[in-house]
Amino acid sequence: MNIIMLGAQGTGKGTVAGIISEKTGIPQISTGDIFRKNISEKTPLGIEADKYISKGNLVPDEITIPMVEDRLTWEDAQAGVILDGFPRNIAQAEKLDEILKAKGKKIDLVINLVTPKEEIIDRMLTRRVCTNQECKTTYNIKLHPPKKEGICDKCGAPLKQREDDSDPEAIKRRLEIYEEKTSPLVEYYKNKGVLRTETVSITVNRMGQDVANDVIKDIKGAQ
Ligand code: ADP
Ligand code: ZN
């Protein structure tokens, strides 16, 4: 089963994808995580990508699309994937359809997470990530803090704030780009009949965990 996580920054795509992946065994492919790993290892890809990411801009398609295309050839991706952070514009979505079609596959489900804007900015500012690249668990110091401050519950590594999350200009820029480039994908996938929109908000007492549990139930029920 091929799943896409859609939704603005801070809606909880990574959290939802992580839970679904853990419970179903479908691997999570996060382009942001791949970029951050390359940045921390100072690979040529990382050095190039960081020029865009640090400013809150999208990494160009010429870099991002081949990276995802390659990841989709891995053995663990053959039975299905959860794409988290890709596609981010129509060109990427069209290319993804092409890549999957050539393998006789398609996108089966797009989970579109929606959160009120004020809540989004707050969530981005209070987000912390595990510095262990093999773990990368995300926390929120207000909504779901780690048991011990600054330390990952799962692996004990220190937590940190992402650089692009600590810069209000970069946050603003990312949300603008989401509106302009990524939000048209909602219509794109609605037209394909695979869109599932879910509100994630404290105002309705529905969090990423709840969405993930419902989706897992449906996936398992359909099998
Ligand atoms: P967020 O959703 O909070 O922006 P991500 O971890 O998904 O965070 O991505 C971090 C950054 O990596 C993005 O701001 C962007 O610069 C880059 N990036 C991630 N995915 C893509 C993509 N599909 N296309 C272009 N750039 C991307
Ligand atoms: Zn960890």
What are the tokens at 23? Answer: 């419970």
Task: Calculate how far, in angstroms, residue 178's C-alpha sits from the geometric centre of ligand 1.
Answer: 10
Give the pLDDT score at 178: 96
pLDDT tens string 138-179: 999 998 899 999 999 999 999 999 988 988 888 889 999 999
Across the chain, what does the average pLDDT equal? 94
User: Does the C-beta of 85 come closer than 6 Å to ligand 1?
Assistant: yes
Q: Which of 4, 31, 173 to mutate to test ligand 1, by most ligand atoms within 8 A of the CB atom?
A: 31
Task: Calculate how far, in angstroms, residue 139's C-alpha sits from the geometric centre of ligand 2.
Answer: 10
> Closest-lying ligand to the alpha carbon of 113?
1
Q: Compute CA 197 distance to the chain's CA centroid, rounded to the nearest angstrom.
A: 15
Upstream peptide bond of 87 is cis (omega within 30 degrees of 0): yes
Beta strand segments in the chain, E: 3-7, 28-30, 82-84, 109-114, 127-130, 138-140, 159-160, 195-199
Give the pLDDT score at 211: 97
181 pLDDT exceeds 80? yes
What are the tokens at 40? Answer: 């921390």
**Cβ of 167: how many Cβ atoms within 10 Å?**
15
Q: For residue 200, which of 23, 24, 7 has the smallest C-alpha distance?
A: 7
User: Does the C-beta of 86 come closer than 6 Å to ligand 1?
Assistant: yes
The CATH superfamily of 3-115+168-222 is P-loop containing nucleotide triphosphate hydrolases (3.40.50.300)
Q: Relative to the CA of 87, which ligand 1 atom is closest? A: 23
| Ligand 1, atom 12: closest residue by C-alpha | 32
pLDDT tens string 12-57: 999 999 999 999 999 999 999 999 999 989 999 999 999 999 988 9
* pLDDT confidence band for 193 (50 / 70 / 90): very high
| Ligand 1, atom 19: closest residue by C-alpha | 32
Active-site residue numbers?
Answer: 13, 88, 127, 162, 174
CB environment 38-69: b (16+ within 10 A), e (fewer)? bbeeeeebbebbbeebeebebbeeeebbebbe
Give the pLDDT score at 222: 77
